[in-house]
Amino acid sequence: MLDIKLIREKPDYVTKALAKRNYDVNFDAFLTLDVQRKEMLIEVESLKNKRNTVSRQIPQIKKEGGDAKELLAQMKVTSDQIKEMDETLRGIQKEIDTFMSGLPNLPDDDVVAGGKENNEVLSVYGTMPSFDFEPKDHVNLATSLNLIDYERGAKLGGNGFWIYTGMGAQLEWALLNYFISEHIKDGYEFMLPPHMLNYACGYTAGQFPKFEEDVFNLEEGNFMLPTSETALVNLYRDEILKEDDLPKRLFAYTPCYRREAGSYRAEERGMIRGHQFNKVEMFAFTTPEQSDALHQELTKKACALVEGLGLHYQLSKLAAGDVGAAMASTYDIEVYLPSMCIYKEVSSISNSRDYQARRGMMRYKNKDTKKNDYIHTLNGSGLATSRILPAILEQFQNADGSVNVPKPLQAFVGTDVIKA
RNA sequence: GGAGAGAUGGCAGAGUUCGGUUGAAUGCACUGGUCUUGAAAACCAGCAUAGUGAAAGCUAUCUAGGGUUCGAAUCCCUAUCUCUCCGCCA
């Protein structure tokens, strides 16, 4: 949610900032409505004041044996008037809320305009792997090494599901263990949240109402979380934290459930895009002053994890149009997939600033001003194992079809090379 | 799944029987002050959120949403959540 005051005071500034996302808005009608709301509000409030004042006098009049009949009749009229106006006002308020909740976050000043094509590669780690043999793709490798059972996965869950089997499951689990133990080492608090969340969680995260179609909804009204960010961001919804409690550094492991309706499955074979994948997610709650530093910290952590595995990757800063609606700034870590000759996202590290905090009323008591200010929320994958595993298979494959196990995983897996 | 109890400020906890200046007693926590070499204790003062206004103030909020009433924390309906007992169960 954007600050409505900012829209009132500097509508052109907001329009311009959103234009960087290729998002067109005109605030004229909205501002008219906003003024209308305010005028009406002042009117009802004065009516309510009248009602309250008179109501308070009535017991006194009765006590003195006076006749309040006429007053009561008058107040009945006033009361009905109030009810009617409140109704209209509710309608206007709802219209305003709907409009406000649909607006995406303002990109930071240093985020460049435009879409994906304007993403900027900041750094590259390692060298592009080269093979003196014909390298296989991860589907081929995962199948021939019996790491993943795609067919039976589809039999069980349908298209977009797979089964980690044997060493594949061990490898996946080893990745999770590696990430988790690194985060614990860094002093982040480990959370295992519910996988089914209520509507308010999706709203606060900024996914609802716009992206309701992207998640699996349950009959009970809850939905399956598309990322643990959706759970973590709601931890302190409707709460006021102490400034000394910030920043809070957390991480969670959950599977992520996504519809991925009408997506690129055909061209993205294997486990690049599924309805369920594993991810360890980092999350931070900070004061506005701390959030830039935390953004750097989370990014560094995510990079360190990929580097620890020895994978060749690049770090990009996203252009405004590629940044998620709830975010102000995002770095992507993209790992190289030889079979597709592309860099594929394994981590997105974003600063939402106060956008999510406004939606979820998350504040902290400012020590200096004694006022309640909105906190800043940041999130970053650390990391999506289901995207990392294909990269490991493809980047570390040998001519004989075996795959070298990255050092940090060897203890968990119990071997340094996976053979058929 | 069945039966019952409950939800009040940062926390605890009155108020709900019998609707009337109750945005809400009291305690704790927190903030400032007095005292003290310093601290503790004691004492004094302050301390919910949001909207609106230059301010005084006004309006709303006692889980949420409806209703009754001149007036609702208090009465009625619905939803959500929590707890207890029974049943079932990893």
Domain ranges in chain A are 26-102, 116-418
Structure confidence at residue A239 (pLDDT)? 84
Question: How many residues can be counted in chain A?
Answer: 420
* Type and span of the H or E element at A353: strand A342-353
State the pairing for strand pair A276-286/A248-257: antiparallel
State, as a whole number of angstroms, the distance between the CA of A56 and the C1' of B21: 7
Comparing C-alpha atoms, which of A122, A101, A106, A121 is closest to residue A21? A106
Q: Taking chain A, what is the end-to-end CA distance rounded to the nearest angstrom? A: 52
Q: Which nucleotides of B are covered by protein (CB under 7 A)?
A: 10, 20-21, 49-52, 58-60, 66-67, 69-71
State, as a whole number of angstroms, the distance between the CA of A85 and the C1' of B33: 48
SS3 call for A354: coil
Structure confidence at residue A218 (pLDDT)? 83
Quick check: A253 and A358 in contact, CB under 8 A?
Answer: no
The band of A113, judged by pLDDT with boundaries at 50, 70 and 90, is very high
* Type and span of the H or E element at A345: strand A342-353
Angle at A89 between CA A86 and CA A94, to 5 degrees: 125
A125-167 residue pLDDT tens? 999 999 999 999 999 999 999 999 999 998 898 888 899 999 9
Q: Mean pLDDT of all residues in chain A?
A: 90
Q: Is the pLDDT of residue A27 over 90?
A: yes
Mean pLDDT of A388-401: 94
Residue A154, φ and ψ in degrees, nearest 5:
-70, -35
Structure confidence at residue A210 (pLDDT)? 82
The band of A364, judged by pLDDT with boundaries at 50, 70 and 90, is confident
C-alpha–C-alpha distance, residues A420 and A165, integer Å: 13
C-alpha–C-alpha distance, residues A145 and A166, integer Å: 10
Structure confidence at residue A68 (pLDDT)? 72
Cβ of A93 near strand B (under 7 Å)? The reply is no
- Burial, A53: exposed, middle or buried (Cβ in 10 Å; 0-12, 13-18, 19+)? exposed
State, as a whole number of angstroms, the distance between the CA of A370 and the C1' of B31: 10
State the pairing for strand pair A240-242/A363-365: parallel
CATH architecture, domain defined by A26-102: Orthogonal Bundle (1.10)
The 8-class DSSP code of residue A244 comes to G
State, as a whole number of angstroms, the distance between the CA of A234 and the C1' of B83: 24
Q: Is the pLDDT of residue A220 over 80?
A: no
C-alpha–C-alpha distance, residues A296 and A34, integer Å: 38
State, as a whole number of angstroms, the distance between the CA of A411 and the C1' of B79: 52
Cβ of A79 near strand B (under 7 Å)? The reply is yes
CATH topology of domain A116-418: BirA Bifunctional Protein; domain 2 (3.30.930)
Angle at A1 between CA A303 and CA A100, to 5 degrees: 145
Q: Give the closest residue to B69 (Cα–C1′).
A: A76
Q: What percent of chain A has pLDDT over 90?
A: 67
State, as a whole number of angstroms, the distance between the CA of A239 and the C1' of B13: 21
Nucleotide nearest to A80 (CA to C1'): B70
Nucleotide nearest to A38 (CA to C1'): B52
Structure confidence at residue A60 (pLDDT)? 81
State, as a whole number of angstroms, the distance between the CA of A242 and the C1' of B40: 25
Q: Is the pLDDT of residue A263 over 60?
A: no
The band of A261, judged by pLDDT with boundaries at 50, 70 and 90, is low
In chain A, residues 237 through 256 whose Cβ sits under 7 angstroms from any atom of nucleic acid strand B? 240
Q: Is the pLDDT of residue A61 over 90?
A: no
A305-324 residue pLDDT tens? 999 999 999 999 999 999 99
The sign of the dihedral angle between the CA atoms of A115, A117, A122, A127 is: positive
Nucleotide nearest to A77 (CA to C1'): B70
Q: Is the pLDDT of residue A59 over 60?
A: yes
Cβ of A369 near strand B (under 7 Å)? The reply is no
Structure confidence at residue A372 (pLDDT)? 84
Q: Is the pLDDT of residue A328 over 80?
A: yes
Cβ of A89 near strand B (under 7 Å)? The reply is no
Q: What percent of chain A has pLDDT over 70?
A: 97
Q: Is the pTM of this model over 0.95?
A: no
Structure confidence at residue A405 (pLDDT)? 97
Structure confidence at residue A271 (pLDDT)? 60
Comparing C-alpha atoms, which of A283, A284, A282, A260 is closest to residue A273? A260
User: A395: which 2 tokens?
Assistant: 């980047």
Q: Is the pLDDT of residue A98 over 60?
A: yes
The strand order across the sheet containing A240-242 reads: A240-242, A363-365, A372-374
Structure confidence at residue A299 (pLDDT)? 97
SS3 call for A417: strand
State, as a whole number of angstroms, the distance between the CA of A256 and the C1' of B60: 40
In chain A, residues 29 through 58 whose Cβ sits under 7 angstroms from any atom of nucleic acid strand B? 38, 41-42, 45-46, 48-49, 51-56, 58
User: A287: which 2 tokens?
Assistant: 């004061």
The 8-class DSSP code of residue A272 comes to S
Structure confidence at residue A264 (pLDDT)? 54
Beta bridge partners of A376: A286
Q: Is the pLDDT of residue A273 over 80?
A: no
Structure confidence at residue A272 (pLDDT)? 65
Cβ of A72 near strand B (under 7 Å)? The reply is yes
Nucleotide nearest to A72 (CA to C1'): B70
Q: Which residue has the higher pLDDT, A387 or A64?
A: A387
